[in-house]
Structure 1
Amino acid sequence: MAASTPPRPGQQGRGLRLTLERTPVTPGHFMTLTVAGELDTGSIPALCELMSQVLGEGSRHLIVDLSEVTRCDNASFFTLLGIREAAHHAGGSLTLADPSRCVRLALAHSVLRDLLPFHDLRAQEPPDT
């Protein structure tokens, strides 16, 4: 299932601002969410809605792949921290994975940099033989 936010005024025809894609890893417990596009105050409601839906459906362990994020602001980090806390309170976890260059740069300047660890999931994949 994919959800997206509408383009900002003046960006009609340029594609979507944010695309969210769900990939079940193990039915009922683990879910990977891929975020692509702009992750900012304008697109956070779509992310929160999808996270609430996924947690409500019973997935407790979420991986958020941020490798395709093209823009990220500080409000996004506060939102991700809040979502991580909600997942923990539901008996689950939130793993932030594969941050794009802009996410890494924004996080380096954020007061939350030590509270939001990122994991490089690609480094854990075995090389193609």
Structure 2
Amino acid sequence: MKQGADARLELYRAPASRPVVLIRLSGELDRDTADLLREAIVRVAADPGEERRLSLDLSDLTYCDTAGLFTLLGICQALDTIGIEVRITKAGLVACAAISRAGLQYRLPLVPP
């Protein structure tokens, strides 16, 4: 699911043949683009045929602010409440630095490299 070519945040969802839903983010995750992520994840959570595991790849983010990260944290907590396991399996330098600056390295479900 690629969101508009001119969007500052692009989301790619891997084919459904995998046992885990994979969403790869590229571009900017911030206050203005967080709704795209929220909408994509709501679609995953609402689909009863989907697996109950979600893997997020943040390695292609070029910008990430605290608003985007706290939106991501809220999404992770909400999905955990309804039984969907979320893991951030890849985080590039931009995402890692932003996560560290925000003090969220122990609150987000990061998988060690």
TM-score of the pair, normalised by structure 1: 0.76
TM-score of the pair, normalised by structure 2: 0.86
Unaligned runs of 5+ in 1: 7-14, 124-129
Contact 1:2 1:20 in 2 (8 A): yes
Query: Which is greater in Rg?
Result: 1
Identify the match of residue 81 of structure 1 among 63, 66, 73: 73
**Which residue is 2:10 aligned to?**
19
Moved over 6 A (4+): none
**Which residue is 2:31 aligned to?**
41
Aligned-pair identity (%): 30
Q: Tell me the CA shift for residue 85 of structure 1.
A: 1.4
Please report the RMSD computed on the Cα atoms of aligned residues, expressed in angstroms: 1.7
**Which residue is 1:56 aligned to?**
46
Contact 1:39 1:76 in 2 (8 A): yes
> Cα 1:42–1:117, aligned 2, differ >3 Å: closer, same or farther?
same
Contact 1:35 1:66 in 2 (8 A): yes
- Cα distance in 2 for residues equivalent to 1:108 and 1:91: 27
Q: Deviations for 1:42-82, whole angstroms, at most 9, x for unmatched residues? A: 10001000000111013321101001000000112211111
Give the total of aligned pairs.
109
Report the secondary structure of 2:69's partner residue: helix
- Cα distance in 1 for residues equivalent to 2:28 and 2:9: 5
Contact 2:30 2:69 in 1 (8 A): no
**Which residue is 1:3 aligned to?**
3
Q: Which has the higher contact order (CA 8 A, sep 6+)?
A: 2
